[in-house]
C-alpha cells in the first residue's frame, strides 16, 4: 500500500483498507465434543461440505506430527499410544500456530477433539477473545459406552491406529470422563451447549446437527 509523502492515505488506499477489513470476517467456531468413537470426525466432514467451515482435528494434527518422526512427534506418540492426553502447552502451541496460518476470510472452525481439558477451554476462549472471534456452540454427541467400544474396535481393524485396541480404548474413555466432561459443563454454564443423540444413521445425526447450525450460519 502506498502512503503519500505527507502520510495521508489516498482514496485508493482507503479502498484497499476497506476491502481488507471486509475480508477479515469474525470467525464463528463450533466445537464437536463427545467420547472417542462418537463420530466427531465423520460429522465434521459433512459440516465442512455443507457450511464451508474449516475442520481442525487435534488428533489428526498429533498423528501427522508423530508420522513426521520429529522429536516433538516422538514425544507426542509417547502419550497418544497410551491413551493419555498430550500436555496442554504442546497442544495449545500447535493449535495457535495452525490458527495463525488461516486466511483472513475463514468463516469458522470446527474444533474436533479440542478443547479436551478445562484449561484448554479457558485458553481457547482467551485466544478467541484476543482475535475478536467467538465460539458459537459446543455440540456434544452422545453415544452409549458399549457402542463406542464396538465402533473403535471395528475402526482399529482398518485404521491401524495404535490407540484403537481394547486396553487403550478403555483408558481413553476414563480420560474422557475425568478430563473432558468438565469442558461440557463450562460451555453449558456459558449457554453455549447442545447435546444430541449420536445413535442412528450418519445422515440422521447430521440432520440433528444441522438443526442447530442453521440457526448460526
Ligand atoms: P479419539 O477422539 O478417537 O480419541 P483423536 O483423534 O481426537 O481420537 O485423538 C487421538 C489422541 O491424540 C488422543 O487420545 C490424545 O492422546 C491426543 N489428543 C488429541 N487431541 C488432544 C487434545 N486436545 N489435547 C491433548 N491430547 C490430544
The DSSP string of 70-107 is: -HHHHHHHHHHTTTPPPPHHHHHHHHHHHHHTS-TT--
Q: What pLDDT, on a 0 to 100 scale, did the predictor assign at position 173?
A: 98
Q: Is 6 exposed, middle or buried (0-12, 13-18, 19+ CB in 10 A)?
A: exposed
Ligand 1 center–CA 65 separation, angstroms = 13
pLDDT at 3 over 90: no
Residue 34: give the domain boundaries: 29-50+107-213
- Look at residues 95, 101, 94, 65 and name the one whose alpha carbon lies nearest to residue 80: 65
Is 80 exceeded by the pLDDT of residue 216? yes
Residue 175 falls within a domain, yes or no? yes
Examine the pLDDT at 17 and tell me if it is beyond 70. no
| 127 located within any domain | yes
Identify whether 90 is part of a domain: no
Least confident range from 11-15, 27-31, 134-138: namely 11-15
User: Which of the residues are catalytic?
Assistant: 40, 116, 155, 161, 172
Question: Domain for residue 97, yes or no?
Answer: no
Residue 184: inside a domain = yes
In a domain, 188, yes or no: yes
Question: Atom 9 in ligand 1: which residue has the minimum CA distance?
Answer: 59
Q: Identify whether 142 is part of a domain.
A: yes
- pTM of the complete model beyond 0.85: yes
Please work out whether the CB of residue 33 comes within 6 Å of at least one atom of ligand 1.
no
- Residue 111 pLDDT more than 90? yes
Q: Which residue has the higher pLDDT, 94 or 15?
A: 94
* pLDDT for 186 beyond 90: yes
Mean pLDDT, to the nearest integer, of 164-170?
96
CA of 83 relative to ligand 1 center, distance in Å: 8
Q: Is the pLDDT of residue 184 over 50?
A: yes
Q: State the pLDDT at residue 11.
A: 72
Q: What is the pLDDT of residues 127-157, one digit of tens each?
A: 999 999 999 999 999 999 999 999 999 999 9
Q: Does 114 fall in a domain?
A: yes
State the CATH number of the domain containing residue 112. 3.40.50.300
Kindly tell me if the per-residue pLDDT of 62 is higher than 70.
yes
Q: How many structural domains is the chain composed of?
A: 1
In ligand 1, the atom with minimum distance to the C-alpha of 112 is 7
Largest CA distance in the chain: 71
- Where residue 25 falls among pLDDT bands split at 50, 70, 90? confident
The answer, yes or no, to whether any atom of ligand 1 lies below 6 A from the CB of 80, is yes
Once rounded to an integer, what is the mean pLDDT over residues 171-181? Answer: 98
Q: Is 121 in the pocket of ligand 1 (CB under 6 A)?
A: no
- Distance of CA 86 from the midpoint of ligand 1 (Å): 8
Amino acid at each position: 500500500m502506498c502512503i503519500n509523502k505527507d502520510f495521508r492515505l489516498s482514496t485508493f488506499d482507503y479502498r484497499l483498507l476497506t476491502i481488507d477489513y471486509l475480508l477479515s470476517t469474525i470467525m464463528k467456531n463450533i466445537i464437536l465434543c463427545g467420547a472417542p468413537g462418537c463420530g466427531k470426525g465423520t460429522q465434521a466432514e459433512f459440516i465442512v461440505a455443507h457450511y464451508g467451515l474449516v475442520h481442525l482435528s487435534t488428533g489428526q494434527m498429533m498423528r501427522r506430527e508423530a508420522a513426521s518422526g520429529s522429536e516433538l512427534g516422538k514425544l507426542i506418540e509417547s502419550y497418544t499410544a497410551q491413551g493419555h492426553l498430550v500436555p496442554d502447552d504442546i497442544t495449545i502451541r500447535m493449535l495457535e500456530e495452525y490458527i495463525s496460518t488461516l486466511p483472513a476470510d475463514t468463516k469458522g472452525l470446527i474444533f474436533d477433539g479440542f478443547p479436551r481439558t478445562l484449561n484448554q477451554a479457558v485458553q481457547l476462549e482467551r485466544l478467541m477473545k484476543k482475535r475478536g472471534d467467538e465460539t458459537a456452540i459446543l455440540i456434544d454427541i452422545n453415544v452409549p459406552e458399549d457402542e463406542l467400544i464396538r465402533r473403535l474396535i471395528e475402526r482399529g481393524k482398518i485404521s491401524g491406529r495404535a490407540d484403537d485396541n481394547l486396553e487403550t480404548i478403555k483408558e481413553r474413555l476414563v480420560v474422557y470422563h475425568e478430563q473432558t466432561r468438565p469442558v461440557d459443563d463450562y460451555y453449558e454454564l456459558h449457554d453455549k451447549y447442545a447435546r444430541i443423540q449420536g445413535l442412528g444413521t450418519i445422515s440422521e445425526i447430521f440432520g440433528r446437527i444441522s438443526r442447530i447450525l442453521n440457526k448460526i450460519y
